[in-house]
Structure 1
Amino acid sequence: MKTDSSHTPTDNHAIVIGAGLGGLSAAMRLGAKGYRVTVLDRLDRTGGRGSSITQDGHRFDLGPTIVTVPQVFEKLWADCGRDFGADVDLRPLDPFYEIRWPDGTKFEACSDDERMFAEVEKISPRDLKGYKRFLKDSHARYIVGFEGMVAKPMHRLWETIKVLPKFAQLRADRSIYGHAKARVKDEKLRMALSFHPLFIGGDPAHVTSMYALVAHLEKEYGVHYAMGGVQAIADAMAKVVRAQGGMIRHTAVVDEILIENGAATGVRMDDGSMIKASLVVSNADAGHTYNHLLRNHKKRRWTTQKLKKSRWSMGLYVWYFGTKGTAKNWPDLGHHTIVNGPRFTGLLHDIFMKGKLSDDMSLYIHRPSVTDPTAAPQGDDTFYVLSPVPHLGWNNSVDWGVEEPIYREKVAKVLEQHMPGFRDSVSTELVFTPETFRDRYLSPHGSGFSLEPRILQSAWFRPHNVSEEAKGLFLVGAGTHPGAGLPGVVSSAEVLAKLVPDMHVNAKEPRMAAE
């Protein structure tokens, strides 16, 4: 098999740093190519940001909750000789989600054209024609941006240069919000057509209009939920890795990637022990990989100074809570609800451009218990409420130790408008702030999604899947190409598979791998 890597491993041992969805995908693909894989993760269970915590009978899915483009998982499983559908119970959602505004307006998204046309006309009849144009725009961007680039290596500048004429034709220089503004006049519809980059850490007012492709992804492939949460997908991936003979070590903290004579030779753990391998894949945040794991190696490209000048995705305030005896309460509150504040672009400007924690907010409410009875005790509910907030890298950064209880009350006041009396039913709760993301996931500035996916931080401009710093060193996950989100991090491992040669060295007897 022809690969894009000039590095030929001298043995078949590969190390994957991090058991997030990107790392597990990488381990599966390396296992399928004949490598003996060791996955090292600092958490106590698989999944990384897609893991979960069970507390008082409530399973809190900590990170991604929406599964789009299930085909990336199906292909991953198929390439490993397995059937995704046999391992994971994926349920299509209808509607996908509901968007709400302060004046009581609601918009339900689904895959049916006629229903979507009716939703648009309900808000602004004059914008139906513009909405239909937006759908055509979305399909054109999908062909170029998703089919043409997502699972393709982009570490050679030419691969990006040759798509620039098409990008220019599609007005990739215009923001996704700007593109929605050019198509529809109603401000609510502009929000509904442009908010999606927030799910991967991007400011809709500044990231490229290529993200209009998400509308086509939703329409074509639907929005799904994995029974058992994304944790169930991670656990299924771990089973594949172990069945291939791979090993997954938890509470194992990698402190440094070892480089000798220009090649990765393994890792040093935080206890000083070393593990040797001729292939190292980092699923740690790209910023942490270059700033910390390679701190004793002089960088060619992603230097400390370059990382300081980079733009990072926003932070996240996430309130997880369980409520007792509320399964039949709030019948109009479904699985996914997006609650808008009084401002859209103004709030985005505060978060992404000023680093200001505003009094107003927009919220994403996840209520998995309406679909999945395993998420909560019988008759109870499990909730996950997310508010985008500034990351910790601003000069006026928030001290969340002081601010958290104050902000929680502000969130509660907004929630009371949609879930009257919910506070009286809360039986257990847990809060993540940007400080949690910094400490738990080693995310620079506590950002929720690594580097912000602006056009000059995408494709060739993003940290490459094959590192310039050492032969045999590769990156997967949200901080590298193609970017954050479940399809992105899983596709980063597909790119990896195109860069790494098959291993024909006779493997040792498969090890019984332990969690």
Structure 2
Amino acid sequence: MTRIDTSLPVQAGKERAPHAVVIGAGLGGLSAAMRLGAKGYRVTVLDRLDRTGGRGSSMMQNGHRFDLGPTIVTVPQVLRELWADCGRDFDADVDLRPVDPFYEIRWPDGSTFTACPDTDKMRAEVARLSPGDVAGYDKFLKDSEARYWFGFENLGRRSMHRFGDLIKVLPRFAMLRADRSVYAHAAKRFKDERLRMAFSFHPLFIGGDPFNVTSMYILVSHLEKQFGVHYAMGGVQAIADAMARVIEDQGGHVRLHTDVDEILLKDGAARGVRLSGGEILRADVVVSNADAGHTYDTLLRNHRKRRWSQRKLNRARWSMGLFVWYFGTRGTRGKWGDVGHHTILNSARYRGLVEDIFIKGKLADDMSLYVHRPSVVDSTVAPEGDDTFYVLSPVPHLGHDNPVDWATMAEPYRQKVQAVLEEQLLPGLGDHLSASEVFTPDTFRDRYLSPHGAGFSIEPRILQSAYFRPHNVSEEAKGLYLVGAGTHPGAGLPGVISSAEVLAQLVPDPVRA
């Protein structure tokens, strides 16, 4: 027997307000809930996990707090504007601190490149590796800024669900050579192969192949230079928790350990959700922060799709998978003094390794690693005197032919990762380990319901971006909206926060009964 929930606490004055249900308490879903609450909706957020934040949540083990997903904040004004639109002050709720340097890149030949906010220092870094590339760096910065204003501030902060919107911007796309890949654009500006890597790898942070993703994504270099890279004390989890507090102060409700089984339609419109236990929640508006593939293939499985059919989803290109090793070390706070907040360790291969991951679906013997050491700035992540790390290795998703059997490969691969770390970055690591947890693409599939265990949903290639990406307003049902990494404008913290900004432009103001 189904049961309709009538027990949700409602803020005085919102008893008769239209009800909005948000599926998923990731950063996109929480942002959407805040914006709908500010509009006057009575909002209920549902999430199957035990913490808010989705892929940006955290876990504890032996006194170590592991940030499971994003580790940095870029474009912090999107968060400040979100808070301001809700009548709140972001900086009063979250302690956000600039990171300088942003990260250090290391190559097998011993050379390094340190990215920082100071343009003159960046020029000096470029000159140290390749004096002839300084002029190219200056041109690259101008290229990046132009794409920021068009790609982020223009396209990224408004809906792109109408074909006419695409037609209007095609000339600008052509002028900016959006058909060229990020790597190809970097190769036009830099002769040194190391610098080509240093200024083209950023799409990997949002699940894209630098050799195939549109060059619009070089805008990240402008983001870093203009707005800096920041760390939230308490991790991104602290941002998610602050969002939940705003929602509750607005009269909304966040329900954890709550799994949504299906979006319910009536007369072609979303009218609520059914939970896995059979409970039905009625709604005037439904917002899905679940992966777009899961939304259309599973949550709308009993309804014929006009655009996002199973066949179309099967033809989509998905972002790579992620192997993430979270580990703690005992008595190492003063050890490894040359290892900062963020370090990138490169394989001797760049193009070949990326091709193995994205095209061949092959788990290579070599690897490139992203290492996060938050304990250098945040003492709350580990017991006193100890360190907390996570190391991320891009790997193939599970949708390739002959996918990796992670049930048998997870520990051997972790050991390979540890060996690389001990050789190149953290000598003696094995003697200090005090906590360990591994996430593989299997984890992303099962924990986050991510199709193929992809780390960042649909890959942001040019024909899977803007109009071609799942829209924020669904064409499959009235009253159904989508936010998060798999929708427009895309993955990454600024992208998912902006998806809720677009949503607020599309959802009508509530009409009270």
Fold in common (TM above 0.5): yes
Residue 159 of structure 1 deviates from its aligned partner by: 1.2
SS at match of 2:88: coil
The equivalent of 1:511 in structure 2 is: none
Query: Percent same amino acid among aligned pairs?
Result: 72
Which residue type is aligned with residue 98 of structure 1?
E
The equivalent of 1:382 in structure 2 is: 388
Residue 161 of structure 1 deviates from its aligned partner by: 1.7
1:211 matched to 2:212: no
1:268 matched to 2:274: yes
Residue 158 of structure 1 deviates from its aligned partner by: 1.3
CA contact (8 A) 1:34 1:504 kept: no
In the aligned structure 2, how far is the partner of 1:11 from the partner of 1:135?
A: 48
1:443 matched to 2:482: no
1:220 matched to 2:242: no
SS at match of 1:149: helix
CA deviation map 1:228-280 (0-9, x unaligned) = 00000000000000000000000100000000101101001101111100100
1:182 matched to 2:162: no
One of 16, 21, 29 as aligned partner of 1:23: 29
CA deviation map 1:308-341 (0-9, x unaligned) = 0000000000000000000011101000111101
Mapping of 1:42-191 within 5 angstroms? Answer: 42-191=48-197
SS at match of 2:438: strand
Residue 502 of structure 1 deviates from its aligned partner by: 1.3
Residue 504 of structure 1 deviates from its aligned partner by: 4.0
One of 487, 493, 499 as aligned partner of 2:506: 499
One of 299, 302, 309 as aligned partner of 1:303: 309
The equivalent of 2:362 in structure 1 is: 356
SS at match of 1:194: coil
CA deviation map 1:116-171 (0-9, x unaligned) = 00100111111111111111111111111111111101101111221111111111
In the aligned structure 1, how far is the partner of 2:111 from the partner of 2:170?
A: 39
In the aligned structure 2, how far is the partner of 1:208 from the partner of 1:108?
A: 25
Residue ranges of structure 2 left out of the alignment (5+ in a row): 1-15
In the aligned structure 2, how far is the partner of 1:505 from the partner of 1:111?
A: 49
CA contact (8 A) 2:17 2:40 kept: no
One of 265, 280, 298 as aligned partner of 2:286: 280
Which residue type is aligned with residue 499 of structure 1?
L
1:419 matched to 2:463: no
Structure 1's consecutive aligned runs of 4 or more residues displaced over 6 angstroms after TM superposition are none
Residue 475 of structure 1 deviates from its aligned partner by: 0.2
Mapping of 1:2-41 within 5 angstroms? Answer: 12-41=18-47
CA contact (8 A) 2:320 2:357 kept: yes
In the aligned structure 2, how far is the partner of 1:75 from the partner of 1:428?
A: 38
Paired residue total: 497
Which residue type is aligned with residue 465 of structure 2?
S
CA contact (8 A) 2:27 2:56 kept: yes
Which residue type is aligned with residue 479 of structure 1?
G
1:312 matched to 2:311: no
1:367 matched to 2:373: yes
In the aligned structure 2, how far is the partner of 1:56 from the partner of 1:503?
A: 47
CA contact (8 A) 2:103 2:114 kept: yes
CA contact (8 A) 2:17 2:511 kept: no
So what's the TM-score if we normalise by structure 1?
0.96
Which residue type is aligned with residue 208 of structure 1?
T
The equivalent of 1:477 in structure 2 is: 484
Residue 11 of structure 1 deviates from its aligned partner by: 5.7
SS at match of 2:149: helix
In the aligned structure 1, how far is the partner of 2:166 from the partner of 2:374?
A: 39
CA contact (8 A) 1:226 1:233 kept: yes
In the aligned structure 1, how far is the partner of 2:182 from the partner of 2:214?
A: 6
Which residue type is aligned with residue 495 of structure 1?
V
1:336 matched to 2:338: no
Which residue type is aligned with residue 289 of structure 2?
N
Q: Relative to structure 2, which stretch is displaced further, 133-142 or 293-302?
A: 133-142
In the aligned structure 2, how far is the partner of 1:300 from the partner of 1:378?
A: 56
Which residue type is aligned with residue 500 of structure 1?
V
CA contact (8 A) 1:11 1:277 kept: no
The equivalent of 1:509 in structure 2 is: none
In the aligned structure 2, how far is the partner of 1:447 from the partner of 1:378?
A: 35
In the aligned structure 2, how far is the partner of 1:164 from the partner of 1:193?
A: 25
CA contact (8 A) 1:22 1:283 kept: yes
Residue 430 of structure 1 deviates from its aligned partner by: 0.3
In the aligned structure 2, how far is the partner of 1:345 from the partner of 1:83?
A: 44
SS at match of 1:267: strand
Which residue type is aligned with residue 111 of structure 1?
P
SS at match of 1:148: helix
1:402 matched to 2:408: yes
SS at match of 2:394: strand
In the aligned structure 2, how far is the partner of 1:249 from the partner of 1:24?
A: 12
The equivalent of 2:460 in structure 1 is: 453
Residue 424 of structure 1 deviates from its aligned partner by: 0.7
In the aligned structure 1, how far is the partner of 2:231 from the partner of 2:167?
A: 37
Residue 66 of structure 1 deviates from its aligned partner by: 1.2
Report the aligned-residue RMSD.
Answer: 0.8
SS at match of 1:234: helix
Residue 431 of structure 1 deviates from its aligned partner by: 0.3
CA contact (8 A) 2:25 2:53 kept: yes
Residue 224 of structure 1 deviates from its aligned partner by: 0.2
In the aligned structure 1, how far is the partner of 2:354 from the partner of 2:397?
A: 13
In the aligned structure 1, how far is the partner of 2:167 from the partner of 2:207?
A: 25
The equivalent of 2:471 in structure 1 is: 464
Which residue type is aligned with residue 236 of structure 1?
A
SS at match of 1:451: coil
